[in-house]
């Protein structure tokens, strides 16, 4: 008998700003604080856009308005994740006027050389540290294998040399092109009066408008039809990083999405999942092993990650192939499905119970093009899933549908030597 606690939809209020900005507010007075998270979609057509937008992101924390905000006890955080720039402000509830002023200053920012040059140096240093990380290299190689090239919006980090040469003119152009209220989202959660919040934000952001000639839509991304796993030798690496991906149900398909999410959770979404239990706990082959649904622009993929010792890569690939084929063929047990439903409901309720997690949850739905009603709809549909439903979703994750890479920590004679690839398909 499956028992769940259910997920209650939080009370939300939505407001459309003068420039088209969508503002979503949720009252949660657990502490006398307010969390505001602005998500701005970036125009990443090529690598120069990627570098310019990373410098743009590095400029915002150094704006004078952000310095004043922090001097009054507020917290500022800015980051880029794929094609989105996230600007987060946290402050005491009585600092709402300052919060609104800081948002306005950021979206109307100007970029003199004395702001851009140190920001470019900082962004280049961060990019240099990131590109040296094996996980970043493996992620880049994965999307190259999936799409046949590395789309800028899938690249975790730009080239440090390109970042260092970004000019104030490029950053100004990137701002004009990307910092547009129409496709942006602002989520505010905390101890607040909704009507007063909307009035304050309208006054502060009323003059924020997008470009007169909106840029055309970025082209769709489509995975290659050829499914193969490529090997890249990486001398000096202490671990071998396995990265695999298979197309999943679209996040827009509400009839198929809950089953796909449940399948990914059972496969590798928590510490008791199949790949973690087998690869790490039973066989000791992997330090970490995960599986999750991720979206790259308009395509949705199941991504499997496993970090293993170089000597065990053949065994790990064989076990992954067996797990995927068995799961695609037989699906979950009733016990596995019940555990997944309970875990996902608990995770939803925890996320909605704190100000920061609720704000992040709301923003994740909005930036993925999901109506907020699905915060309760997806858990409700997940509770109704049968093992057959999840098996049908898991069929998409059969080994024959997998593309990927093995970034192998061996010591060959060249830095990127091709070699035989352990099969993901069981023999």
Question: What is the structure's pLDDT at 219?
Answer: 72
| pLDDT value, residue 337 | 96
Report pTM. Answer: 0.91
Residues 189, 52 contacting (CB under 8 angstroms): no
pLDDT, one tens digit per residue, over 73-114 is 999 999 999 999 999 999 999 999 999 999 999 999 999 999
Ranges of the chain whose pLDDT falls below 50:
1, 411-418, 427
- Other CB atoms within 10 A of residue 386 CB: 13
The continuous run of DSSP H or E covering 117 comes out as helix 113-131
Q: What local confidence, expressed as pLDDT, does residue 415 receive?
A: 46
pLDDT for 427 equals: 43
What pLDDT sits at residue 411? 42
Neighbours of 178 (CB within 10 A): 23
Residue 205: CB partners within 8 Å, gap ≥ 6? 17, 18, 19, 21, 100, 103, 104, 107, 181
Task: Count how many Cα atoms sit within 13 Å of the Cα of residue 170 in the half-sphere of its side chain.
Answer: 22
């Amino acid at each position: 008998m499956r028992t769940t606690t259910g997920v209650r939809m939080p009370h939300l209020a939505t407001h459309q700003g003068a420039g088209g900005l969508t503002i979503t507010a949720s009252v949660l007075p657990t502490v006398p604080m307010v969390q505001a998270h602005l998500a701005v979609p970036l125009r990443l057509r090529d690598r120069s856009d990627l570098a310019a937008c990373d410098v743009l992101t590095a400029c915002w924390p150094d704006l004078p308005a952000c310095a004043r905000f922090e001097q009054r006890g507020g917290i500022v955080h800015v980051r880029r994740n794929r094609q989105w720039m996230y600007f987060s402000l946290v402050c005491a509830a009585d600092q709402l006027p300052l919060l609104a002023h800081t948002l306005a200053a950021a979206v109307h920012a100007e970029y003199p050389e004395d702001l851009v040059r140190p920001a470019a140096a900082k962004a280049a240093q961060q990019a240099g540290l990131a590109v040296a990380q094996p996980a970043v290299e493996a992620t880049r190689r994965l999307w190259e294998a999936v799409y046949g090239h590395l789309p800028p919006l899938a690249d975790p980090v730009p080239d440090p040399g390109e970042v260092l040469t970004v000019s104030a003119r490029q950053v100004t152009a990137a701002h004009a092109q990307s910092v547009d209220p129409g496709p942006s989202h602002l989520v505010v959660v905390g101890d607040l009066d909704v009507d007063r919040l909307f009035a304050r934000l309208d006054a502060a952001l009323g003059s924020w408008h997008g470009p007169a000639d909106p840029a055309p839509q970025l082209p769709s991304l489509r995975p290659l039809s050829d499914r193969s796993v490529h090997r890249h030798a990486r001398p000096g690496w202490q671990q071998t990083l396995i990265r695999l991906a298979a197309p999943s149900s679209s996040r827009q398909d509400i009839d198929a999405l809950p089953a796909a999410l449940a399948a990914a959770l059972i496969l590798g979404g928590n510490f008791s999942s199949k790949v973690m239990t087998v690869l790490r706990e039973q066989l000791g082959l992997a330090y970490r092993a995960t599986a999750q649904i991720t979206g790259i622009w308009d395509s949705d993929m199941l991504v499997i990650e496993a970090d293993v010792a170089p000597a065990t890569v053949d065994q790990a690939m064989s076990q992954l192939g067996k797990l995927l084929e068995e799961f695609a063929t037989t699906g979950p047990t009733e016990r596995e499905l019940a555990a997944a439903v309970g875990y996902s409901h608990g995770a939803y309720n925890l996320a909605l119970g704190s100000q920061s997690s609720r704000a992040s949850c709301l923003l994740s739905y909005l930036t993925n093009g999901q109506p907020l009603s699905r915060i309760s709809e997806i858990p409700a549909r997940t509770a109704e899933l049968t093992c057959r439903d999840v098996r049908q979703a898991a069929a998409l994750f059969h080994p024959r549908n997998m593309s990927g890479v093995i970034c192998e920590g061996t010591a060959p004679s060249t830095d990127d030597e091709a070699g035989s690839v352990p099969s993901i398909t069981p023999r």
